[in-house]
Structures are given as C-alpha cells and as structure tokens.
Structure 1
C-alpha cells in the first residue's frame, strides 16, 4: 500500500504543483473542509486502482500546494492551468526520475461536494523502454466531517490499515519513487 500512496501523492502533487507553478495561471479552488473519498483508476499503467479517504481543511490544502510547488518547479519545464467554462484544464511537462512525462488534465466539479480529474499522460523513458500512454481518473466526493480519530491531513488507505498525515514530509518523501 505504501507504494500506491506514493504514486497517489506524486499524481496529486504534480497536479497541485501545476496551479502554483506558472505566472498568470489560475489557482485551483480549495476543497471544502472535511472527509473526502478519493477513487483513482488507471488505464495503461501498472498502478492499481484504489480508494482512500482524506481528511482536509483549508490550511492543509494550501500547505500541500506549497509543499509540492517547489518540487514541481524543479522537475517541470511547463506547468499551466486555465479556467474554462466547465472547470479547469492543465498541461505540464515534467521529468520524473529520468522519464519525461507530458500530461493534460481536465478538472470539473465544485470542490464542495465532488470533483473529477481526468489526466492523460505520455511517458517517454528515452530509449530505456517503450513510451507509454496512460489515463488516470480521480473521482472525489465529500463525505462530511472528518471522523473523531482523524485530523486534517490524514490519508486512510483501504481497509483502514494504513494511515499517514500529509504534513509528515519525511514519510512522504520516502514513499515517492526513487527516494532513498
């Protein structure tokens, strides 16, 4: 499960980094405080589908953006997000562990009750293996207040067996691919 969480953090991190990375770009709205159920499905990727819960508030969402933004600025040569009539569209080009990843994301929803992010990506490992196209869909819905044993930032994996707070940067760093 920790590898899945690391992949999720990287996916969300790059998406959030897009909003803070380019001058003049739109900022994504802050999610409504409380408990969110987040379902991630992948096509064309070895990552498994997964559902988790994330307890958040305005401070945590802003901290996640600020935590990821410096990393995104270092690894991404392009980060852009624009508001559209239906939500937001984001494009990025990043180099993750020597692999060039170009992504296009479409984001819709109100960030108060539900939102959806569909990301189409093209990964090119530069001759190490064949390029790969993948689609990741994130469907999130607000469940209500966080549970009594949760605090803002807590991510709970399926089955309730693994819990991590996003504010614990050292643990997150160790979950990311290529971390030592």
Structure 2
C-alpha cells in the first residue's frame, strides 16, 4: 500500500507540478465535467488503468496548488515550459527511497481531450534494479458529471472505489519527511 501511495504521489507531482517560472495559475484548467483518464504504462508491473474524474475550474486550480508544496518537499527539480503544442516538464523527485527522473510532453486543448506522455527512469536504491518506463495518459471529456458526483471525485476502475482529491491532501502527511 505504501509503494502504491508513493507512486500516486509521484505521479501527481510529475504530471501536474508548476515550476518556479510557471505558476499554478498559468497552467490550463480542464473543461468542467466528467473526464475519462486512461493510463497505460510500459516497462512497469502496474496494469493499465482507466478512471473517471469529475472536475471544475476551482478543483483543477486547487489540485495544482495542493501538489506544489508536496513537490517542493520531494522534488529537487521541477521545470515546466510552454511549447508550441502544449507543455513540457522535467522533474527529479524522491520518496520512500525511490528516485525518479522524468520528462513529460502534454498536448491537447483541455476542453475535449489531452495526452500526457512521460518517460521516466527510476532508481530503486536497494529495492531493486533501475527501471525505465513510459506512461501515456489519454484523457477525454465525457460530458456533465453524474448526479451522484461532486467536483473532485475520482472513480477508480470497477466503480467500487471513489476518492475526492480534497481528501487526498490528507494523504500528503503519510509521505516520508512530510510535516504534520
């Protein structure tokens, strides 16, 4: 469970972290409504995953602002640049004895669909051999959130587990070195 939590925290940091020369307010926000987010990883034992995220402008901005302090604690490098097609990010983060260097290309319009392609190199320290992975996130807007959903709700595969990203802020305190 701890390894999955660390991976989730790092994934959030690597994909949504504002850097020193790009503020969270400068990053695009997704169109309000229900987004399907599909994650496919190569070079990783983690399976493909498709989840749904109900969001609005406020939640997207809060997510960027929430991730930024966590990233400052665990990332020695976090750069984001505007490109002709979207954004490019470069990060070096470490948590639970695992160091991950990554590069992401983010393209799309954030109104109907976007794609994040991340190449990363993980140094697992004494926990195993280094690993290179490619993660592709394909997100598409599905329409309005379902009646039983509120902005921030993430429904995991199988529909049985739902978490609101505002509750995820509490998980930050579980990371090693986090200050209560």
Q: So what's the TM-score if we normalise by structure 2?
A: 0.87
Listed as ranges, the matches of 1:81-96 within 5 Å are: 81-96=80-95
Aligned length in residues: 177
Aligned to 1:168: 167
Q: Does 1:115 align with 2:121?
A: no
Aligned to 2:70, the other structure's residue is in SS state: helix
The runs of 5 or more residues in structure 1 that have no matched partner are none
- Name the SS of the counterpart of 1:77 in structure 2: strand
- Which string of whole-angstrom CA distances, capped at 9 and with x for unpartnered residues, describes residues 36-90 of structure 1? 0000011111111100100000111111111111110111111111111111111
Deviation track 1:91-122 (CA, whole Å, cap 9, x = no partner) reads: 01111212211000011000000000000000
Gaps in structure 2 of 5+ consecutive residues: none
- Using the alignment, how far apart are the partners of 2:3 and 2:174 within structure 1? 6
- Contact 1:97 1:178 survives alignment (8 Å): no
Partner of 1:11, secondary structure, is helix
Corresponding position: 1:39 with 2:22:
no
Root-mean-square deviation (CA, aligned residues, Å) is 2.7
Normalised to the residue count of structure 1, the TM-score between the two structures is 0.87
Distance 1:139 1:6, change over 3 A: farther
The 1:9/1:52 distance shift into structure 2, 3 A limit, reads farther
Partner of 2:16: 16
